[in-house]
Amino acid sequence: MTKIKICGIKTVKDALAAMEAGADLIGFNFYPKSPRYIDVGTCRNIMSVMRKHGHVTYVGVFVNASVEEVYATIETCGLSLAQLHGDETPEMLSALNGKAFKAFRGIPSDIIGYERNDAPALLVDAAVKDVYGGSGVTADWSAAAELAKKYPLLLAGGLTPENVADAVRQVKPWGVDVASGVESAPGEKDAAKMSAFVKAVKQTIDDGR
């Protein structure tokens, strides 16, 4: 069953809509330069509501933050995992004791030291200069498919309700990650697009990929 992560949530309304649509993971972006940036206090307030509404996995997205900052944010907000989307080292990943996975912009030539035993093992996004996710550019699916044979891979990069079925068929990832592809404007989620995205993924699964 392909997992679905909806990332860049900024409001309770969008978080509830993502959950209602059928997301397995919900992501909050703590990178200040992102149009989907959320501060810790706002995320904590959203999480205080979300804990009453069933269980999904909550992920914090960080770009070159310190181990201390990542730990503190996870603890304060009650998140499950950290997605490290910058230039973090294997040592930093190790210091987070299984609570984090590495996101790569482009296909990594070597992931030694970045392996994670649990799923997702890693995330593959499109390679866009100076952009840390949410670019709307499609990743290299053929190369990602080779990685997905070896690791429980989370595929990001330019996914939409229109192309995600093809992505799932070609890459066969552990999960798919969407941000800009289900928005009406940067940082504003569209409930209908989120539902359509989830439906497209589940339809692909029903069709046996």
In angstroms, rounded to a whole number, what is the distance separating the alpha carbons of residues 202 and 170? 15
CA 38 vs CA 27, 30, 48, 78, 81: distances in Å: 10, 6, 15, 15, 16
DSSP codes of every residue in 153-183: EEE-SS--TTTHHHHHHHH--SEEEESGGGE
Catalytic residue among 14, 24, 125, 177: 125
Look up 125 and say whether it is catalytic.
yes
Catalytic residue among 7, 14, 24, 43: 7
| Amino acid of residue 157 | G
Look up 207 and say whether it is catalytic.
no
Per DSSP bridges, beta strands 153-155 and 122-125 are parallel
Q: Which two tokens stand for residue 92?
A: 């930093």
Q: Give the active site residues.
A: 7, 125
